[in-house]
């Protein structure tokens, strides 16, 4: 499994790569549904969610996304994952967001699994991670040679310092003009451990 890591300082939007630290990480208590397991979608299939729809504590804030069952394609963890690109009748790529409690000035780490819809072009799927609406990481995944049963998930990580008592984490696709987008799963948010 490939591992990507970035750190974002509170005062700037610059992303710099950092090495792993030795601090102990603790899950953020009110962050949930990182595997997109709720609501349950039809077995061996997928379900579309559009702007304004909840996916458990997540909210679709732009375009549309599809929650996909593990019987349709491999999940990184659990039974479901999310394709961030919408069906062809929705104009803009999708974005999901979740808000959770943070301590201003404290460091946090977001870890997630990234793949790409293998069913169509382009081969390279791109997207971004945002914290409070600010881009903190650009990601890309080459789905060449991947299949529904071998998605080739990579583990990515980005760290940030909280500015407020709540923080909004978003994932958005930047892959235009296609329904075959980046796929995310197994999102975790930990305090410290940066």
| Domain range summary for the chain, segments of one domain joined by + | 3-17+48-183
C-alpha distance from residue 63 to each of 3, 79, 85, 94, 175 (Å): 28, 23, 8, 4, 12
* Predicted local confidence at residue 12, as pLDDT: 31
pTM: 0.87
C-alpha distance from residue 97 to each of 1, 20, 119 (Å): 25, 26, 25
On the question of pLDDT at 122 being above 90, the answer is yes
Q: Give the count of beta carbons closer than 10 Å to the beta carbon of residue 13.
A: 10
* Average pLDDT of the residues in 94-114: 97
Per-residue pLDDT tens for 16-56? 333 334 456 788 989 999 999 999 999 999 999 999 999 99
Q: Which residues lie below 8 Å from residue 128, measured CB to CB, with a gap of 6+?
A: 135, 137, 138, 139, 171, 172, 174
On the question of pLDDT at 6 being above 70, the answer is no
Q: Find where tokens 């991947």 sit.
A: 146
Closest CA to 109 of 13, 193, 2: 193
State the architecture of 3-17+48-183 in CATH terms.
Sandwich (2.60)
Closest CA to 49 of 36, 32, 67: 67
Q: Report the alpha-carbon angle 21-22-23, nearest 5.
A: 100
On the question of pLDDT at 104 being above 60, the answer is yes
Lowest mean pLDDT segment, chosen from 6-15, 54-63, 109-118 = 6-15
Q: For 90, which DSSP code? A: S
């Amino acid at each position: 499994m490939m591992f990507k890591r970035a750190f974002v300082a509170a005062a700037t939007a610059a992303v710099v790569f950092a090495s792993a630290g030795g601090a102990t990480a603790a899950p953020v208590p009110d962050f949930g549904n990182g595997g997109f397991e709720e609501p349950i979608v039809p077995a061996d299939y997928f379900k579309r969610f559009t702007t304004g729809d909840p996916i458990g504590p997540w909210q679709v804030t732009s375009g549309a996304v599809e929650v996909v069952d593990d019987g349709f394609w491999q999940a990184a963890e659990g039974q479901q994952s999310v394709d961030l690109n919408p069906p062809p009748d929705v104009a803009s790529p999708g974005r999901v967001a979740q808000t959770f409690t943070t301590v201003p000035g404290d460091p946090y780490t977001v870890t997630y699994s990234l793949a790409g819809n293998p069913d169509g072009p382009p081969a390279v799927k791109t997207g971004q991670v945002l914290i409070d609406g600010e881009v903190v990481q650009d990601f890309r995944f080459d789905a060449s040679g991947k299949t529904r049963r071998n998605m080739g998930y990579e583990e990515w990580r980005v760290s940030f310092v909280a500015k407020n008592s709540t923080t909004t984490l978003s994932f958005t696709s930047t892959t235009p003009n296609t329904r075959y987008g980046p796929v995310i799963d197994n999102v975790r948010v930990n305090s410290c451990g940066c």
